[in-house]
């Protein structure tokens, strides 16, 4: 495994790989790797000749007052985990390497960003789209792997790939969870001990919503209410949003039908957690 910190060297290595007609799988991350990231890596390893993992805490996607400074970082630990996942190249650039001067072009994510994290984190997806445009151009992967924990991100990346004609296959990966149901996240280390105990309620509330949908509930507001009540009653967290949309279009629904996402974001004292459930509504259940 090779660690690369400059764009120039990364492009040189990619050129070398491309000359050998080799397929490249790319896993972009912000590091502090966990089982979720490793699952993306495993899938990339299975489907490609070469696996590139990027580790970059992208300042552009953090708003003022968000957790850019306190975002957990541990490169040596990440390096060992990447090695164990048989990554070929770790791209680990500095902020100065990625953004050496103020930009002359701005990328604005327009679609599907007026809801969920796009609404509560203004500019977040512009930052995501900008860094991914750069990373896609540097790594030029055949396939790129993204987790459905960030389901809105998957939808936005799909738009980015299509709009800018990146010859990249988007490969979404299911949410990986702790044994108690909490979605794995680098940010979980910033939960206070008592918040860590409460945090699985996010998953439990989604499971309750799922059961309710499976027994025929189709009213969007009722689903939102079930989830919100559980989170309010069983955690000290503050609900940022509990919303239900069609997926991946992220259009509002009065009644559930088709593929639907129930998405939540909850603010704890030092960390904001997100989770979601994507469910195919089987109209047959009602009959
Ligand atoms: P991050 O380092 O948080 O930016 O995440 C990098 C990639 O890993 C993103 O595509 C995330 O959606 C994905 N990811 C993070 N946590 C999980 C998880 N628990 N399950 C599946 N994918 C995840």
Contact in structure between 57 and 68 (CB atoms under 8 Å): yes
Residue 154 lies inside a defined structural domain of this protein: yes
Residue 82 lies inside a defined structural domain of this protein: yes
Looking at the structure of the chain, the number of domains it has is: 2
Residue 86 lies inside a defined structural domain of this protein: yes
Of 31, 35, 40, 155, which is best to mutate to test ligand 1, by the most ligand atoms within 8 angstroms of its C-beta? 40
Radius of gyration of the chain (CA): 19
Residue 224 is part of which domain span?
186-286
Ligand 1 mean position, distance from CA 178 (Å)? 13
In the predicted model, is pLDDT for residue 108 greater than 80? yes
Tokens of 142: 């055949």
User: Mean per-residue pLDDT for 183-192?
Assistant: 98
In the predicted model, is pLDDT for residue 286 greater than 60? no
Q: How far apart are CA 229 and CA 249, in angstroms?
A: 26
pTM of the model: 0.97
pLDDT, the chain, mean: 97
User: Mean per-residue pLDDT for 129-136?
Assistant: 98
With a 6 Å cutoff on the Cβ, whether 152 touches ligand 1 is no
Ligand 1 mean position, distance from CA 156 (Å)? 15
Residue located via tokens 């459930």: 277
Residue 17 lies inside a defined structural domain of this protein: yes
Residue 191 lies inside a defined structural domain of this protein: yes
Residue 24 lies inside a defined structural domain of this protein: yes
Angle at 121 between CA 281 and CA 264, to 5 degrees: 30
Q: 9 and 139 share a domain?
A: yes
pLDDT of residue 284: 58
pLDDT of residue 283: 73
CB atoms within 10 A of CB 108: 10
With a 6 Å cutoff on the Cβ, whether 185 touches ligand 1 is yes
CATH at residue 230: 3.30.1300.10
Q: What percent of the chain has pLDDT over 90?
A: 97
């Amino acid at each position: 495994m090779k660690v690369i910190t400059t764009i120039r060297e990364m492009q040189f290595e990619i050129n070398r790989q491309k000359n050998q007609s080799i397929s490249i799988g790319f896993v972009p991350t912000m590091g502090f790797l966990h089982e979720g990231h490793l699952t993306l890596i495993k899938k990339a390893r299975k489907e490609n000749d070469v696996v590139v993992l990027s580790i970059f805490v992208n300042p552009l996607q953090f708003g003022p007052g968000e957790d850019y400074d306190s975002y957990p970082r541990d490169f040596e630990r990440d390096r060992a985990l990447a090695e164990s996942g048989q990554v070929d190249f770790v791209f680990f650039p500095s902020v100065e390497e990625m953004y050496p001067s103020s930009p002359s072009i701005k990328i604005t994510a327009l679609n599907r960003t007026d809801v969920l994290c796009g609404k509560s984190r203004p500019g977040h997806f512009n930052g995501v789209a900008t860094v991914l445009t750069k990373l896609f151009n540097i790594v030029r992967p055949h396939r790129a792997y993204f987790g459905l924990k960030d389901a809105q991100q998957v939808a936005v990346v799909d738009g980015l790939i299509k709009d800018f004609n990146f010859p990249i296959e988007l490969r979404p990966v299911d949410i990986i969870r702790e044994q108690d149901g909490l979605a794995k996240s680098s940010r979980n280390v910033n939960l206070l001990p008592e918040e860590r105990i409460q945090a699985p309620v996010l998953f439990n509330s989604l499971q309750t919503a799922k059961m309710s949908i499976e027994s025929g509930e189709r009213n969007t507001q009722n689903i939102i209410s079930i989830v919100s009540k559980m989170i309010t009653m069983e955690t000290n967290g503050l609900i940022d949003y509990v919303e239900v949309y069609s997926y991946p279009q992220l259009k509002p629904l009065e009644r559930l039908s088709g593929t639907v996402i129930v998405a939540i974001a909850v603010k704890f004292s030092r960390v904001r957690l997100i989770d979601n459930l994507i469910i195919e509504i089987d109209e047959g259940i009602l009959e």
